[in-house]
Amino acid sequence: MQRSQREKVYKALLFCSALMALFVIILIGGFIFKEGLPVFMKYGFKEIFWGTEWRPSEQLYGQWPMVLGSIYITLGALCLGVPLGVLTAIFLAELAPRKLVSLLIRPAIELLAGIPSVVYGLFGMTTIVPVIRAISKKVPAYAEDPLLSTGYGIVAGAIILSIMILPTIINVAEDAIRSVPQDYKEGSLALGATHWQTIYRVIVPAAKSGIMAGVVLGLGRALGETMAIIMIVGNSPVIPHSLLSSVRSMTGNIAIEMAYSSGEHTQALFATGIILFVFIMLINSLAMFIVNKEAG
């Protein structure tokens, strides 16, 4: 084979590989829509998306409880995880002694990111759930309601999820803070501002969009988490009316019921997949938009 021909073959091969990721995401979207759309068509978008009752054995496929469930757990996780994550990121970028970071905190964060979600689930199920149950049984208003006093629920899920999204938030936010030009900081300090004032008034505002990107990525991770969630949140397909209420997430709905489902029930689970897919694509686009805005 001629040299130039060979070069062309290599190029074509590389191009095909590069297309693979795009191809896969189109396939994923295509398959999930193909399997899940029939249910939307048959019962109507409104009935499925806004429907409040999920009883597959009675042909009721309302997704709203799971949508709300996912939103509540995710928001809860962000409320706990974002402050801790951002503060830790500031600490790492601005305050921490270098040795402490490289020997202790950085490996800790990496390990935190590497722990499989089933292990988080196992931990949450055997520690956090019993503690919350013990507390809620002492509060008369909660103890009476069977759905609020079991320990399984939004609060337990949010606590575990907040730990799981910490590494994402910390890493992205720290990068953003570190990439703030040194001049900003020096200028502020030269004007007589204290270190904290500089962080608070100059560095964090300058790194705002990077920090936001971290938060949005954490949001995506929380929304997509499955195994830890189903071991902790109780999985009742009801509209939650309290923070202690047992809920079911969209991801959990799929993982729990896929195994025994058949026919229309399976399609309804793919419908859950469609909603989750669309949510995630929106969130990712938002994250990309934030990052690009910063870059451009």
Partner 1 sequence: MSKLFKSKFFAIVLVMMITVVAGCGQEKEAQSEENELEGTIQIAGSTSVQPLSEELVKAFMAENNKVRINVAGGGSGAGVKAAAAGTADIGASSRELKEEEKNVKEYVIALDGIAIIVHKDNPVNDLSQEDIKKIFAGEITNWSELGGEDGAIHVYNREDGSGTRGAFTELIMGKEVSITDKAIIQNSTGAVRTAVAGDKTGIGYISLGGINEEIKALKVDGVEATVENIKTKTYKIYRPFLYLTQKEPEGVVKAYIDWVLSLEGQGIVAEHFIPVK
Partner 2 sequence: MIKPQKTERVAKVVLWTAAMLTVITLVLILGYIFLHGFSKLSWEFLTTEPEAMGAEGGIFSSLVGTIIFTITTIIVAVPVGIAAAVYLCEYTKNGIITKLIRFGTDALAGIPSIVIGLFGFAFFVTLLKPLTGGWSLISGALTGACMILPTLIRTTEEAIKAVPASYREGSYSLGATKWQTISRIILPTAMPGILTGVILGIGRIVGETAALLLTLGGSLFIPTKLTDPASTLSLHLYKVAMEVGAMDVAFGAAAVLILTVLFINISAALIMSLLKKKTIA
Residues that bind partner 1 (CB under 8 A): 54-58, 125, 129-130, 133, 137, 143-147, 149-152, 230-231, 234-238, 246, 248, 255-263, 265-266
Of 183, 190, 211, the closest CA to residue 92 belongs to: 211
20-28, 52-60, 139-147, 201-209 -> range binding partner 2 (CB under 8 A): 20-28
Least distance to partner 2, CB of residue 245, Å: 22
Q: Contacts by 95-100 with C-beta closer than 8 Å and gap 24+?
A: 95/195
Instruction: Out of 254, 257, 268, 290, point to the residue binding partner 2 (CB under 8 A).
Output: 254
Q: Which stretch binds partner 2 (CB under 8 A): 46-54, 142-150, 191-199, 236-244?
A: 191-199
Comparing CB distances to partner 2, the nearer of 149 and 162 is 162
Q: Which is nearer to partner 2, 17 or 182 (CB)?
A: 17
71 lines the binding site for partner 2 (CB under 8 A): no
Q: Write out the binding residues for partner 2, residues 148-177 only, by CB under 8 A.
A: 163, 166, 170
Measured from the CB atom, the residue of 15 and 260 that comes closer to partner 1 is 260
As measured in angstroms, the least distance from the Cβ of 21 to partner 1 is 20
Per-residue binding letters, 92-121, with partner 2 (x by CB under 8 A):
x-xxx-------xx-xxxxxx-xxxxxxxx
With CB under 8 A as the contact rule, which of the stretches 30-38, 45-53, 129-137, 205-213 interacts with partner 2? 30-38
Say which entry of partner 2, partner 1, none residue 170 contacts (CB below 5 to 8 A, set by partner kind). Answer: partner 2
Closer residue to partner 1, CB minimum distance, 93 or 148: 148
Q: Is 1 in the site for partner 2 (CB under 8 A)?
A: no
Binding site partner of 280, from partner 1, partner 2, none, Cβ cut-off 5-8 A by kind = partner 2
Which of partner 1, partner 2, none does residue 282 bind to, with CB < 5 to 8 Å depending on kind? none
Q: What gap in Å lies between CA 178 and CA 203, rounded to an integer?
A: 9
Nearest to 240 by CA among 33, 68, 92, 124: 68
Of positions 145, 224, 238, 265, contacts partner 2 by CB under 8 A:
224
Q: Using CA atoms in the order 120, 122, 124, 127, what is the torsion angle rounded to 10 degrees?
A: -130
